[in-house]
Amino acid sequence: MKYCIIGSGGIGGAVGAFLAASGQDVTFIARGAHLEAMLGQGLTVHSGIKGDFVVEHPKAVTAGEYRETPDVAFVCVKGYSLDDAAELLARCAGPETVVIPLLNIFGTGSELQRRLPSAHVLDGCIYITSYINAPGEISQGGKLFRIVFGERDGSVSPRLEAIAAELEHAGIRVVLSKEIRRDCFTKYALISVMAAVGAYYDAPMDEISADPEKREMAAELSREIDAIASAMGIPFSRDIVAGNLKMIDTSPKGTTASMQKDLKKGGKSEIDGLVFEPVRLGAQYQVATPAFAKVAAKFGFTPAQKD
């Protein structure tokens, strides 16, 4: 199949690189120095699964230059770039294109479907530790690389099974979910907690794990997300507090959430969707969220605010 990777940073770059290395037709949508490096030197990947490898002569273009109609489009941008992704998809996605968003923010599949009523948009999420080392160079750490996606009505078509098979062949674990809304909120529960506790203490996950006060803050944030999920009618199928703490405890040394990295840079971040939104959801579903409110207040959020 023909794949388009919208957003070729740590996540999209890893997905596209694994697919390209397995022989799939992949086009990376990128920009700036990262795009220039990919075109000039290829895309280098340091992988905990495959070791070091290079995607030589990758198909890489800007969003404005892309003129193909993909079979599958992975949306791997940050939440604040969703408008740009929707604009590209409105132009390039055909009636048979399957759009799979892999964003941190919950509900982006439904939002893209609302904006693109004639498109076929799934819901999805990804479990991976991956980031850009330098332009044209990505590090994918550890053995965890799992994509979860599915139809919101719970159906599983042969087309989705074919996509899953190609991803598995590329070395990416796949879960075809019949409960994708719950599964995406499960991932959101992890990322929002890691982002919130890491940003609040300005600390990596190993420091959070080692400090009883910080670790308890992560547990309290997790309990609040658990209560929100139950109030929303999508209760988790496992102990989310224990699961989140385990992920924090086993994160590679120095791991920080991407939101933390963005905050450090002083530019745009996903703080509205990852930290402020749980406070709004708590108010909407009458769930107390004092821990999230404490983090949100540190960054100037008030309950009526929406960035």
And the tokens for 76?
A: 């791997």
Residue ending a domain, choose from 150, 178, 206 = 178
Same domain, residue pair 131 and 165: yes
Domain presence at residue 307: no
Q: Residue 14 sits in a domain of what CATH number? A: 3.40.50.720
Domain presence at residue 304: no
pLDDT value for 129: 87
pLDDT tens string 171-230: 999 999 999 999 999 999 999 999 999 999 999 999 999 999 999 999 999 999 999 999
- The domain tally of the chain equals 2
Mean pLDDT across the stretch 268-291?
Answer: 96
pLDDT value for 304: 61
Same domain, residue pair 226 and 116: no
Above pLDDT 90, what percent of the chain?
92
pLDDT value for 2: 98
> What is the Cα–Cα distance from 270 to 113, expressed in whole angstroms?
21
pLDDT tens string 16-43: 999 999 999 999 999 999 999 999 999 9
| pLDDT at position 289 over 90 | yes
Same domain, residue pair 280 and 239: yes
Domain presence at residue 303: no
Q: Residue 215 sits in a domain of what CATH number? A: 1.10.1040.10
Residue ending a domain, choose from 138, 163, 178 = 178
pLDDT tens string 94-140: 999 999 999 999 999 999 999 999 999 999 999 998 999 999 999 99
And the tokens for 276?
A: 């402020």
Q: Residue 110 class from Cβ within 10 Å (0-12 exposed, 13-18 middle, 19+ buried)? A: middle
**Do 75 and 44 touch, CB atoms closer than 8 A?**
no
267 — pLDDT class (breaks 50, 70, 90): confident
* Residue 192 CB coordination number (10 Å): 30
Domain presence at residue 194: yes
Domain of residue 191 covers 182-298
Same domain, residue pair 172 and 189: no
Name the residue among 34, 35, 91, 47 with its Cα closest to residue 66: 91
Residue ending a domain, choose from 142, 158, 178 = 178
